[in-house]
Each structure stands twice: as structure tokens, then as C-alpha cells.
Chains A and B, each alone.
Chain A
């Protein structure tokens, strides 16, 4: 039964399984008892189970990339690309907001004891949200599978405003930052942009904006 150990070179995934793979790759991991779909991914060598964690294997990541990649040169790729380029400068601002939420400007950790400081950072998050909202509304039309991001961001905002500080930047829940990272990851996969290209481009766009 040596053949059973080999991973087949092409895989046809059931729809549910494919969605689970894409979800896992976009999120980077999942916690808790693995779903039947995630177990199936693990059995096909596309995911790795480690205790309560499931993570995609490099092969799984590649396959998800193939699934999400928009046809190069297509209209939809052009549209999403332009939205992505509008997204990058806002992405930069969101990271600043998260940093401000976690640390005071002098580097001290933010213990959330200063209501005015927190309210100021929260207010800046509104500017970021106002800036990303039109982008996401258009993205939802161009790429319907991304329609869920704006509601998910708004859900994180609601929970944040209900008084739980972790909903802005905590990495272990679907906080604003976590959802944002998923969105970012999905855009990169859809456009076939690598992380380092992304960082270079963001830098260029932010500088270009600063220089006017």
C-alpha cells in the first residue's frame, strides 16, 4: 500500500472541502476540534493538525492560491488590483491605529486606564473604517466572495464598542485587525502578489501620497 502514502499530483476537491481549505489558508490556522472538512484536508496532506490547531501545509497554501487567483489580465483582476492599491495606504493607517491601541507613543503598553487616550485611538479607527468602507463596498461587487468582510469588520467594531478592548487588535479572536489580515491575505492570493511585493508597494504608495 505504498501508493496510499503518496500525495496525488492533482486533487479535485469537493466544494465544501475547497471552501474549508481557502478559509484555513486565509485565516492561517484554526483552533478547536477540527471539522470533518479540516480532517479531510489533513488526510489529503493539505493541512497539519497539531493538538487543537490546524494549519495549512505549503501544498495546501499553494492549492488555495490556485483556487482564489483571478485570471491574469482579466477585467475583474484589474478592478480588484485598483481597489487593492487604494487599500494599501489605509492598511498602513490601520497598523498605526493598532500600535496606538497597544502602546502609548512613548512605548509604554496601553493598559486601557486612560479613557481619553483610548477614545482618541478609537476615533482614528473610525477614519480608517470610513476610508476602507467604499473600497469594500466596491470589492463586494467585483468579487462577491469578499462581501463578508465589511460586516465582519463592523461586527468587531460593535464588540469593541461594547467594551471589550481585545476586539481591536487581539490575534486570538476575530478582532478588527484579525479580519483585516484575512482580507489582506485574500487580496494577495486573488492577485498573486507576494508579501514582499506587497510591502514594497505599500511603502511606495504611502510615500507617493505623502509627497503628493
Chain B
């Protein structure tokens, strides 16, 4: 029989038995028979059977058998009736049970809870009456007799002493409780049928001396490290499911130690090929499992470590391990964090209350937090504790540190709710108020309002000063999985990198080359005047001088970039910025003439104006100067033994003739460098496909281009006629909310429209030049769904941000296994 008849618990017990693992003596009453358990005769037969199985006797002996009734449904479901855990307990035998257990307090509480539930659901005593009764008598030892009296006087019948009759009432309680509005709501919330049935499980209660007995839950993995380590809670005494017992101990407190659970959890992990979670009981050091399941909610670290461990133990193969890790796991493991050098000063360490990293200036009150944040400052609210009055400050702050309070404190709850990183309970930090001045001291360090601090809400550490926030490096286990992914994927993975530093990060994260170097990014900041002079030059001589300065600067940048990426492919896109990014503001021109010229060059729509190859055709010496700088840099690094594979890319092409003209310029530069140096520079020349026209003319372009790279950001803008900056704010959110679009086409490639153009381009390009290299370099290169599409089209590579490279490597492997 399966879970449909036995309930999930009944099926699990069968499974545990078949794996040879220890279980509790018990009887499952299948779905079809549960109603009969409410009959004292049937209940009596079950008690009889249970006595034989457990070797104990119900009633009044020295260690009488008690019974626990548990329910489960054919599917896993939350909101089941709580266990009725001490059936068979009576005023007459309770002294014997207490003797056996050795500590009565919890037993009475459990007993009172059971009586209350049976009174309410099987004996018709109003819930409010029972609630009031329990409120008046705080001590459970007084509650039990009072409840028994109330049930006798106000219930439809007194609560019986006979174990079988108690069991029958308990069964009736379970079934009635399952029909309450509360249970119905739980089924609805989980999209389960309203008439979902129950199976009931009657178990011989494991009771033993208090110190050596108890129950608990354990999972096989440590969520923090991901490694195999039985982790969970242990409670001494009698098991109950609600309310949650208040006094949990760590598994290290387990009589016999946590090793007791290792065999069972390892067996179950191999069996499930997933992290295992068990409920267990212990009596006199003897383990029995009550249930086992795959731990559904697992951290990225757990998933990744387990995937590796399962391969190493031979339970799974590498492709299965790669499949098991999700792109979101990689993202989670690559979470931004404080960049620590070892030089920083740790002020204090508290509880990791809300994840994330934050830097900002210290403020001590909610008022000041609101005020400074409104002025555009990033603030960290430091307070002893918070109250509702501090909520505005909590919401305005970049981070929160409290000296009192735990993970469930007001500050922690609000901070998590608002997504603000927080460290709570940093008790070594002292807040001192003298008059109007507040300071905080951590050891000898004094923090005043306005001082900069940084905090890591995942470690609980607070540091002095402003620390850099950077992308994390993947942990070792993830590197192993990504290494397997690399052997499975067809797509190459490159990175978009503009500087040597980006390139080095990209290589570290597994990029096989650079798919896009945006040369205009080298001209922002202090280099801006160089390119500005080229554009504003009015005579060839001025332009020449400006170009020479620009080429010198670029040669240095390229050298750094090429050294960073090493002997790998590098696609360098020649200048593609819209003109307005380089024009001076009217009051910032070097002189009057420049101001006039700049005004004349201003465009109504710069994104569609003099940009990319168009600019190069107006300034014919620009691309040659850039190309020469690149080729010279290649010669420089070749002397150091590094030979990158250069790919020179012409942007924003629409006409094949534009490409041919630009190509001639680049070739002339290559020839000039070759003549000067005596070395033929190996390089490929290609086009970036960003306009719909370029996509449908890809065949023609491929007569000149040795590679094509799809710039899907611009291609999406131009295909839809969307200006991204405008529509993202005002249109896309609404389109997604109303279901016109399921995802932003700037995040997930529009495979039907933009993708359709790419398909046409791929087909035509290959018809003209069969071996042509094809890739994409828009932000879509890091999006798993878009990567799957690129794999289906048979592109050679995707290129994404350096931080996105690990996700792309995994997603490219998933794309293969999906086909």
C-alpha cells in the first residue's frame, strides 16, 4: 500500500523498515478505516495489537504503555492536527509514569494540552471556556484536574480512564480537528483538495528516565558549511508537536552523542540523493526514527556540498550533480560581501540578524537617521534596542546595529522585513548618553555620530571605517561542480571586461576570454578630455595631436587588459558611445569655439545618432588610431610571452559597406604596425549585430566579418523600439503586472522576436561563411533562460559580466542536459 492509503507517515515507516533503520512500534490505520478507530471496539483491538508489538501493557502496571496518536495525509501537508501524545494516562497511573520519567512538569503540560484538544473537538466544550480555564491556572499540575472536572461537568461525557476508550475519543478529536476552518484554510493555502483524507498512526509511546530519553529532529547537513553533520534539536521528556517545546538542546547533548544519528542520516542521504531530515526518539540510549524526508528547503551550500559528496561516494554521476545545483544557488553563494583585507578593525561582533553588507555613517536616533538619509547619506543606525518609534529610522538606514536583542528582536524582525542588513545583540558595544551627546564605545574605540562603520549581516561583524563591498568568490565545492559543468557544456563562456582588473576577475571566475571590451569605458573620468579634443577638433593638426595622445593612453589600457586575460580570445569593440557622452556641458567647454562646436554637434536622440561606425566614418582617423594602439599593445605583451587572440569588432553596423570601410581602416593600421615591427599581427575582424538591419543582412556582413557578436541590449531596444531607460520605469513593470509580458526582454531574451532575428542572422552567416564564430555579448549572456536559447542556436559562446560567469558556466551545462 502506498501513501494514498497509509498517509505519508505510514509510507515513510515502511520505507525506513525496508532500509533496515530502527522505527517505533506502531500500527497505521489506513485512510479507508480511520472512522472505525472512533469505535471503542476497534480501538480496543488496536491497543491489543500494540501491546503485543511493544511488549508493554496498558493500564496500571509499573511502567504502563502509553499511546501517541499521529495523523498524516496522502501528501505532505502543513497544518495537520497536532499529535495526541499521552493516551492512556490517568490520575491513577500518572504517579507510576512520573516515577519512570523522573520529571513531571512537561508531562503535565502535554497532558493538559491533550485534554484541552479532546475537550474542544470531541466532547463539545467551548474553546473560550477552556482557554479561560488555562489562563487562570498557570501551573499545568493544577490544570489537569481542573480540565478533567470541566470535561466531566460540561462535556458530552467524562474523559474515560480506559486506554481503548481514550484512543477512540482521540481518533474522533483528530478527525474533527481536521474539519475545522483552520485546517480547511491550511489545505486551501496549499492548493490541496478540501476533502483530503487522513490516515492515523497509533504508536507505543517511548518513555524512559528523563535524562536518557527524549526526542528531536535532525538534518544531515550543516546549513552554514554545507557539510555532513547531524544538526538539529533535542528535547528531553515526552514528545509533543504543539505548542513547540521551549527548551531545545543541541544534538551534542544527545545521550550517546550525535554520532548515534550518523548511520541513519547517511543511509537516507544516499537513498534520497538529497539532504535528509528525520524525527527521532530515544529511550535509554536506543534510537527510533519516527519519520524521514528529503529536506526540501536547503541552502546553496548544502546543495552544492551534497552534490559533490554524492559523486564522491558513487551514489550519483557528475552530470546529475551539475543538474542538482541551481543557478540561484550560484547567485546565493556569490553574494556581495565586505571585502576584507585583514587590515580592518573589527569593532564588535553580534548576531547575524539580517543578511547583506552595508557601510554608512553612525547615527544614534531614528530622527537623525531619517534626516541624514533624506539628505542623501548612507547611515547605520546604532541603538541599544528599537521600538515601533524607531521604524522610520530602521527603514531609512543602510544598516542596523543593536546592542541588545536577539534574532527575533524587534530590530531583527523589522530589518529582515525591510531587507536592511542588521547585526543585533552586539553586547560589547556600549552606548553612552551624556547630555545631548551620544557616543558608542567598543573596547577603546569611540564611535561618534557621523563616523563611518561597515557591517556584515551574515557574520555579525561590525568594522570601523568604510570597507569595499565586493562579489564573493565561489567556495571550493562550487568550483568542483563548475569544473564538471565545464566538461558538459557546448557553449563557451566569456566575460565583458574593460580593464585589466575586470579581466583578471573574469579569468579567476572561469571565463575563457573576453567577449566584449567596451573601449569607450576607458575614456570616462580623467581621460574624457582626450576623446573630447578629437571630436571637437576643427583642423587636422589639432585632431592629429589629440589622436596621438589618445592612442598612447589606449595602448597602456590595452596592455593591461591583454595581460589580464592572457593568451585567450579578446573581442575589442572600437568606439561605440553616443556622442553626447563626450561633449562638454555648455559651461565646461575649454573655450568659446569648443562651446559653439559642441552645441552644433548636439543631437535630439543620441542613441540613434552619430554613434559607433558612423562616428568612425566622420572621423576617419579614429578607428585606425584605436586599432594601432591595440596592435602595438599586443606586440608589447607578446614580448612577455602572452599572445591573446585579437578580435577587432566594429559596432552599430547597418550597411555592409560601413563594415567594409571600417575594415579597410583597421587593415591599414595592421599593415602599418607590421611594417614598422616586422611582425604580422594575427587578428580577426568582425561586426557587432545590434540593429535589425544588421541581423537580416548578416549574410552580406559575413563576407567581410570573420565573426559576429550579437549585442542583444541594443538589438532588443531597436527591435521593440523601446528606449530602455524610459520603458523600464514606466512600461515594463505594468506590462509584467498585467501579463502582457512574462519577463523584461532586457533580462530574459525575447526568443520569438529578437531571437527570431538572431536565428535568421545565424543561418545566413553560416551559409556564407560556414566556420564563422558567433556569440552574444548583451546582458542576456548571463541569464539562464537566454543561455539555453543560445545553446539551441548553436552559438559558439556567451559573454556576460565577470560576476555572472559562474552562473553562465552552470546554465550552459544545464542547457545541454535539457536537450
Q: Report which A residues bind B (CB closer than 8 A).
A: 25-29, 48, 50-51, 53, 55-56, 61, 86, 92-93, 95-96, 98-99, 102-109, 114-120, 122-124, 126-127, 130-131, 133-135, 137-138, 161, 169-172, 177-178, 181-182, 185, 195-196, 199, 206, 209-212
Contacts and interface: CB of A to CB of B under 8 A. Distances in A.
A195 B374 contact: no
Contacts of A103: 416
Contact of A53 (B223, B242, B244, B392): B392
A131 to B, nearest CB: 8
Given A55-B392, A161-B189, A212-B140, 20 more contacts: A27-B388, A51-B374, A99-B408, A104-B297, A106-B223, A109-B416, A114-B297, A116-B78, A116-B296, A119-B79, A119-B190, A120-B79, A122-B189, A134-B132, A134-B134, A171-B395, A172-B391, A177-B413, A181-B388, A212-B103
Nearest to A126: B182
Contact of B191 (A95, A102, A115, A135): A115
A212 B407 CA distance: 24
B391 A169 contact: no
Nearest to B222: A106
Contacts of A206: 246
Given A55-B366, A86-B135, A212 B391 contact: no
B367 A55 contact: yes
Interface string B386-404: 0111111011000000001
A206 B408 CA distance: 14
Given A28-B389, A123-B186, A171-B395, A134 B79 contact: no
Nearest to A103: B416
Nearest to A161: B185
B189 A115 contact: yes
B36 interface: no
Given A119-B78, A123-B79, A171-B394, A50 B189 contact: no
Contacts of A134: 128, 131-132, 134-135
Interface of A: prevailing SS: helix
B106 interface: yes
Given A114-B297, A134-B135, A169-B417, A28 B367 contact: no
Contacts of B751: none
B77 interface: yes
User: Which among B77, B245, B374, B413 has the highest number of chain A CB atoms within 10 Å?
Assistant: B413
Contacts of A56: 389
A27 B389 CA distance: 7
A203 to B, nearest CB: 10
Interface string B227-251: 0000000000000001111110000
5 contacts: A96-B244, A116-B77, A161-B185, A171-B394, A172-B418
Contacts of B104: 212
Contacts of B417: 102, 169-171
Contacts of A185: 387-388
A9 B711 CA distance: 70
B731 interface: no
A78 B385 CA distance: 28
Given A53-B392, A99-B408, A107 B223 contact: yes
B189 A119 contact: yes
B390 A28 contact: yes
B476 to A, nearest CB: 20
Given A123-B182, A177-B413, A116 B223 contact: no
A123 B80 CA distance: 9
Contact of A99 (B105, B391, B407): B407
Nearest to A133: B131
A210 to B, nearest CB: 4
Nearest to A169: B417
B409 interface: yes
B392 A29 contact: yes
**Most B-side CB within 10 Å, residue of A61, A116, A126:** A116
Contacts of B371: 50
Contacts of B79: 119-120, 122-123
Interface in B184-200: 185-186, 189-191
A92 B408 CA distance: 8
Q: Which 9 A-B pairs have the closest CB atoms?
A: A212-B105, A28-B388, A120-B78, A106-B223, A28-B389, A210-B246, A95-B408, A119-B78, A134-B131
A136 B106 CA distance: 26
A88 B183 CA distance: 27
B713 to A, nearest CB: 28
Contacts of B108: 212
Interface in B93-143: 103-106, 108-109, 127-128, 131-132, 134-135, 138, 140
B630 to A, nearest CB: 45
B13 interface: no
A103 B299 CA distance: 12
A66 B301 CA distance: 53
A20 B185 CA distance: 37
A93 B138 CA distance: 17
Contacts of A182: 388
Given A123-B78, A185-B387, A169 B413 contact: yes
Contact of B128 (A92, A123, A137, A209): A137
Contacts of B302: 106
A178 B387 CA distance: 11
A149 to B, nearest CB: 14
A84 B756 CA distance: 67
Contacts of B128: 133-134, 137
